[in-house]
């Protein structure tokens, strides 16, 4: 299976996201990443969909997507030209003795502290999957909660 990134322009109407996601679901495809946002036109949204499938089934899904009334345009983005960033929120145990080490690591990875409690620090980091993997490996025994999202940037969706 290969990873494909689709940029789909859709009408900005209720239910469009459910219909598009449902199409992938009915075909048995798992969406790796899905980002939806407004465009320069109020009545149009851009869906950036990352999916791992073979080429032929993707072509079939693309044809079916084109048949949906609210889909305006579909473009498969060139994998060499796509800019992708992941977002990571990480809650780390950080008592008085370890807090300075945690904060040093945050600076080293150019991450950002978004919340501090008496015994935890919540960190936000963006970057490549390798960078975020390296960050989480620094704190494997201290991690209390983790949320990670592969999210293609808006630049990736623009041709």
Residue 20 backbone phi and psi in degrees, to 5: -65, -50
Q: What is the CA radius of gyration of the chain?
A: 19
Question: Mind listing the pLDDT tens digit for each residue in 48-60?
Answer: 998 888 878 888 8
Q: Where are the alpha helices (DSSP H) in the chain?
A: 16-26, 55-67, 99-108, 129-138, 154-157
At 32-49, the pLDDT tens digits run 888 899 999 999 999 999
Phi, psi of 123 (to 5 degrees): -120, 140
Tell me what percent of the residues of the chain surpass a pLDDT of 90: 56
pLDDT exceeds 80 at position 105:
yes
Q: Select from 62, 82, 57 the least CA-distant residue to 155.
A: 82
pTM of the model: 0.72
Q: How confident is the model at residue 159 (pLDDT cuts 50, 70, 90)?
A: very low
């Amino acid at each position: 299976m290969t990873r494909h990134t689709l940029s789909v322009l859709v009408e900005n109407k209720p239910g469009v996201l459910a219909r598009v996601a449902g199409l992938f679901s009915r075909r048995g495809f798992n969406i790796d990443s899905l980002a939806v946002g407004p465009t320069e036109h109020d009545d149009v949204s851009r869906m950036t969909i990352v999916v791992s499938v073979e080429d032929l089934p993707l072509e079939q899904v693309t044809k079916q997507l084109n048949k949906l009334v609210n889909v305006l345009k579909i473009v498969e983005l060139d994998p060499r030209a796509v800019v992708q960033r992941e977002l990571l929120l990480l809650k780390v145990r950080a008592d008085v003795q370890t807090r300075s080490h945690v904060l040093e690591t945050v600076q080293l990875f150019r991450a950002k502290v978004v919340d501090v409690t008496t015994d935890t620090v919540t960190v936000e980091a963006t970057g490549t999957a390798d960078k975020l993997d390296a960050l989480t490996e620094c704190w494997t025994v201290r991690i209390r909660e983790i949320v990670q999202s592969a999210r293609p940037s808006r630049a990736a969706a623009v041709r």
